[in-house]
Chain A
């Protein structure tokens, strides 16, 4: 579809339109050049998404000197092709040098995970695996119309409410929720709210809120799906304690069941062998998977080598409120740092093995011991 607004902007020169990124620190600002802007500014995807749409969030949010945000989003599956000249270097920078010719491995066979059912529950309070999925044939949250978003919701409800056994559950649309349902979902820590982060708002993801947004979860409250938040679907498997193996099993089985239903309607998930699962933010490409635990590491977390250990284990820490929060009472959210270039099984394996090791280190420190000989090599 022609983007008439973009054609109109072509009357101005590249120099006149080029964004001022002199005070910016994000992946998009690092990768964008006048040459790239000049080459791509006249293009649009078939649904009408343009380069300016891709980068708007990065222009509006200069970033932080210490935290490198991505600074660009996709509006549809084709964005990653049409705007390759910008997105490939962004992907490479964000995902450890991933090349345009690299192939990504997908492995959702939970039986390939070794161990993971024995993380010490005295330290691991809860385990969780999340990912996102985009539905083929629809544009993504920065770009989709109300009609598309509603169609996504309708398909999702159909798929989710047809699940049975451990996956039997209920859908709660955000706009029709009763006060009682809302309070319960808040108490369960399931409810998501209208985004407030300017990173998301500037990308247009909160438009028409709360139209066609909702939450589905199974009766057992161990499998949860967010519809139309930052991605078409965010899928979460979780439970108290340290049985990551079980969490991952449920994750894989649930995802595959949902995918089958979408495929029957000729709306399978967006995926290709180069970037794996296609999601709105380039940081979530590949597996889109964040597998992690809430774990008590009061001694290890104050050890001078804590950061280095995490880096070597290919893990990251967050506070227990999630991204951009601080830890409380020595409890950290520890999860995989990678998304692209390794499979789901590989990433969860890193979490399982890494957390196991860190708990052993914590125990040694409790006894007043030294952990220098336990520090691992770079994975």
Chain B
């Protein structure tokens, strides 16, 4: 597990230590304008921060709720050590005003240091998105010990499939909104090399998007594994689709139960899944696979981006902490029609989606049920929460089948104080 942050990668040409990233210390940031440059000074005079402040009056996203002229003035001229700016972080939120009912995040990180250099904006956004989690004063627990899970085997008559996903970023390389082609290729190289070291039930193969044959492509589509160039303006405005499909690919094990997306919305997205209701086994494989991959990259001097304030660092602030979404496809024909369904889910800290994933509708009473939270609770806690919650839902469904009464459960506490 990532420990201290004064890690200098041996043999790498890359950056200087991220020593400043431990809690309470701000990473170094550069003042963008070199004071000896007249063109730069002139531009600063002509365009003070107030001239560039975005018009967010019609916007409904976390960034727009948090950004003030004072914060913008303070941060506009700062850059991360890799040269990433505030304007670049918020561009996606400026370009996508959002929806009155759905509050999107509206900003992304370009690198690990973004969360430090632009903390004055990221912190309130994180607090808003993650139910009051305060990165300045709280610590995020990481726990990938799957042996702690109880009752992780669902009734197969209701649960059709189980899945756990997360993301991981490679420390020292910029994130998808900001990375150059060389960095993206380096991410691919590091990850693919590590994955080739996986053995037994985890042994598998990599399929590069730009070199895949038509046959391979069709097979990946049939398995529902293939991801395509992002079309969502939330992602394209953040620059994540640049140079597509260069250095993008999919790796999966031979058994098709462990899958990794390379260089899509994050450096890696890691997915463990199988048909049926054995969530315990899915999570066990998830944890084992992640730990193996981490060991393999560490052998070569790399590590994952992580710190104790924010947990695992990913592109979108909504995925900080565990970055974990654990869920099932479950049949709930009676419960889903009950007017108390949404409240029950809410109190259990679960969310529903259609079976096509985010922003899709349910088909044939089958719902995708997963955890709401990502940050402030550990992986074990969140998966247990999903297991207990889904078991409760199935229990309700069975009661309704028998004509019995069901109860709305008390709400689960947000954070341990």
Q: Mark B160-193, 1 if CB is under 8 A from A, else 0.
A: 0000000000000000001011110110000000
How far, in Å, is A294 (CB) from chain B's closest CB? 33
B242 touches A56 (CB 8 A): yes
Q: Mostly helix, strand, loop or mixed at chain B's interface? A: loop
Q: Mark A191-230, 1 if CB is under 8 A from B, else 0.
A: 0000000000110001111010000000000000000000
Q: Mark A7-22, 1 if CB is under 8 A from B, else 0.
A: 1110111001111100
Q: Which of chain B's residues has its CB closest to A212's CB?
A: B55
B33 touches A1 (CB 8 A): yes
How far, in Å, is A333 (CB) from chain B's closest CB? 30
- A1 contact set on B, CB distance < 8 A: 32-34, 37, 39-40, 43
- A2 contact set on B, CB distance < 8 A: 34, 37, 40
Confirm or deny: B87 has a beta carbon within 8 angstroms of a beta carbon on chain A.
yes
Confirm or deny: B210 has a beta carbon within 8 angstroms of a beta carbon on chain A.
yes
- B91 contact set on A, CB distance < 8 A: 207-208
A145 touches B87 (CB 8 A): yes
A145 touches B210 (CB 8 A): no
Q: Mark B20-57, 1 if CB is under 8 A from A, else 0.
A: 00000000001011100101100100110001111100
Q: Which of chain B's residues has its CB closest to A46's CB?
A: B39
Whole-angstrom distance between the alpha carbons of A211 and B183 in the complex?
33
- A201 contact set on B, CB distance < 8 A: 236
B54 touches A146 (CB 8 A): yes
Confirm or deny: A189 has a beta carbon within 8 angstroms of a beta carbon on chain B.
no
- B13 contact set on A, CB distance < 8 A: 11-12
How far, in Å, is B85 (CB) from chain A's closest CB? 8
Confirm or deny: B241 has a beta carbon within 8 angstroms of a beta carbon on chain A.
yes
* Tier of interface size on chain B: 35 or more
- B51 contact set on A, CB distance < 8 A: 146-147, 150-151
- A147 contact set on B, CB distance < 8 A: 46-47, 51-52
Confirm or deny: B391 has a beta carbon within 8 angstroms of a beta carbon on chain A.
no
Whole-angstrom distance between the alpha carbons of A286 and B236 in the complex?
32
Confirm or deny: A47 has a beta carbon within 8 angstroms of a beta carbon on chain B.
yes
Confirm or deny: B14 has a beta carbon within 8 angstroms of a beta carbon on chain A.
yes
A145 touches B47 (CB 8 A): yes
Q: Mark A170-201, 1 if CB is under 8 A from B, else 0.
A: 00000100000000000000000000000001
Taking A5-B82, A16-B182 as contacts, is the C-beta distance between A11 and B55 under 8 angstroms? no
Whole-angstrom distance between the alpha carbons of A207 and B84 in the complex?
17
Q: Which of chain A's residues has its CB closest to B12's CB?
A: A11
Q: Which of chain B's residues has its CB closest to A11's CB?
A: B13
Task: Beyond the given A12-B182, A56-B242, please list 9 additional residue pairs across the A-B interface where CB-CB is below 8 A.
Answer: A2-B34, A4-B82, A5-B79, A11-B13, A16-B182, A20-B243, A47-B43, A60-B243, A145-B47
18 contacts between A and B (CB under 8 A): A1-B37, A2-B34, A2-B37, A3-B83, A4-B32, A5-B84, A5-B178, A12-B182, A17-B182, A59-B242, A60-B244, A146-B51, A147-B47, A151-B46, A202-B242, A207-B94, A208-B54, A208-B91
Residues of A within 8 A of B (CB): 1-9, 11-13, 16-20, 46-47, 52, 56, 59-60, 145-148, 150-151, 175, 201-202, 206-209, 211
